[in-house]
Structures are given as C-alpha cells and as structure tokens.
Structure 1
C-alpha cells in the first residue's frame, strides 16, 4: 500500500493518465479516509494539513529512550572496535606471556605455558563481548530504521508541499492568463469599435 501510494504521489508524467491517477487517489481518500494508509503517511498528511514541522533531532529523541545497559553496550562496542583496544590487548598478552616466561626460571610463574588461565580470560572476554557488541549493533539497526522512516516522512511531506505549491502556481498562472485574455478581448473590442467609427467617418466624408 505504501509503495503504491508513494508511486502515485510522485508520478512525474503530466497528461490525462496522471490526472486520472490523481483523481482515483483523491476519490479513494474521500471514500475511505486516511485510515487505510500506513501510520507514517497518516502522520505526514496530518502535519501537512496543520502546517506542522516534521523534521526533528533524532539523536535527542533516540537518546531519551536509552537505558543504562544500552549506553554500556554502546561504550563497550566503541572501545572494543578501536585500535586503542587492539594495541592495548596485544601489549597485555605480550606482557602476560613474557612475565610468566621470566618467572618460570624461579618457579614463580602464576600462569606458566601454555597459559591456561590466560586462555580462560580470553574465552570469558569473548563470551561477554560478543553479545554486548550484538546489542550495540541492534541499537544501531534500530537507529537506522528510525532515521530511514523519518527521512521518508520528511521527503513525503516535502513532495506534498511541492505539489501544493505547484497547484498554487498553476492557479495563479491560470488567473493571470485569464486576466490577460480578458484584457486582450477588451482591447480587441475597443479596436474594432474605433475601426468601425473610423470607417463611418470616412464613409460620411
């Protein structure tokens, strides 16, 4: 329904076919109202009718619904996907392995080769980090869907406003043309009257 409606609203081809599509769409809206349209398009039509602005700051609206866990997930994903984390982690593993290799000579290594405790820590980190990053990705997907829906509504409203502006310009141009034609007709009548009077004067002479 949404795709069909958008195609009909944005039909750029003038002529009888385009006029027929517009009339059918308008008649369907008159008969069925806007209840059959998607929620986004109903909201756009309502805002166009009331002259309300549709654009809004999505980041602020999205952050208002963010929980503490969501912010933690975003922060973990931000840190885990940075070169700082990668370099720091490589340095940590190198220090861990080197320190245990040195302490092994004095039999004081707390995690000797093959570093079983380090493997346990890495497995635990991976097990915790993966779902947290997936949570952040899901939030980003929600943000992208919200942005796409908002962009569609703004584009649709702009298209409706442009169509209304075109209608106003066409109406203004039609009235100007009608006024010009009326002036030309009066001028033609005046010219014919003057020519008739001139002919009468010449005939009288």
Structure 2
C-alpha cells in the first residue's frame, strides 16, 4: 500500500530483464561473434558437410530393418528441414543485431570524424590568418634594398647641401 493512488502505474512487463549494460554488451559481443562466423566460408563448408553426412547416413540402407536411420527419406527428411529452419530462425536475428551494433559503431565513428574535420578546419583557418598577418607584417618592414636606397638619397641630399654651402662660402 506504499504506492500512491493518484499516479498511474507504470507499464507492466511480463518479463523484467534486469541486465546491466555490461551483460548486454557481452551478449552483443557473443552474438556478433556468431554472426561473423555465420558469414564465413568455413561455416558454409561445415553446414554443407553436415547436410551431406545427414543425407548419406539416412539414405543408405544399413540393414533390412533400417533401425539406424533417424530421418526417413520417405518423409522428405523432415528432421533435417526442421534443424535447418531452426538454424535460420536464430541466424537472422543475430545477424540483424550485429548489423545494428555495427551501425552504432559507424555512427559514433562518423561523429568523431566530423568533429576531427571541424577541428582541422578551425586549425587551418587559424594558421591561414597567422600567415596573412605575417605577410602583412613583412610588407611593412624595411628591406635591405629599401634602406640602402634611402641612405643613398640622404647622402645625395647631404652632398647637395655641402655643395650649396661651399658655393655660398666661395661666392661671398
């Protein structure tokens, strides 16, 4: 009676799985491993070998009674069909689960790539601004040739002033 009556009850679930994220991740990793194995040539070879052995074992007459057979070809190998259907019914959800987990990893990877690209773009823009500032600063600094030409023009002006003074002194 500790529940409050003025609030609706939450969803009632028939089964309340109380898995931690670690257990869920472990199940995901195991199912991915199975799904990866189901997509290998080794699995196809094993499955083909299993089916061939099954068909040969249940097709060859051993004795007149055929008591060693467990799946009759007269019934179109019903047990084999059921086993393969069971395998397929478990394989499909495991493959889908593995694909969903791969999609999640791809989404996280794409987000990280996008963030990395944004940082690279920001760094590139910063470096471009710095290079432009350096070019501008270099454009404002005096080069060696500029300083030499300025000194030559000043020297010429001084020589002209000296000549004018000498002319004035000698003309007096």
**TM-score when normalising by structure 1:** 0.62
Note the alpha carbon deviations across 1:131-168, whole angstroms, 9 max, x for none.
Answer: 11000011111111111111111111011111111111
Distance 1:197 1:101 in 2: 121
Q: Is the 8 A contact 1:100 1:110 kept in 2?
A: yes
Q: 1:192 aligns with which of 137, 143, 153?
A: 153
Shift of 1:65: 10
1:145 aligns with 2:107: yes
RMSD after superposition: 2.5
Residue of structure 1 equivalent to 2:48 = 90
Pairwise mapping of residues 113-132 of structure 1 onto structure 2 (< 5 A)? 113=73, 114-132=76-94
- For structure 1, the 5+ residue unaligned runs are 1-63
Q: Secondary structure at the residue paired with 1:110?
A: coil
Residue of structure 2 equivalent to 1:4 = none
Residue of structure 2 equivalent to 1:102 = 60
Distance 2:48 2:24 in 1: 33
**TM-score when normalising by structure 2:** 0.72
Pairwise mapping of residues 16-55 of structure 1 onto structure 2 (< 5 A)? none
Give 1 or 2: higher helix fraction.
1
1:72 aligns with 2:49: no
Shift of 1:187: 5.1
Distance 1:103 1:73 in 2: 40
Gap change, CA 1:89 and 1:73, over 3 Å in 2: same
Query: May I ask how many residue pairs the two structures share in their alignment?
Result: 141
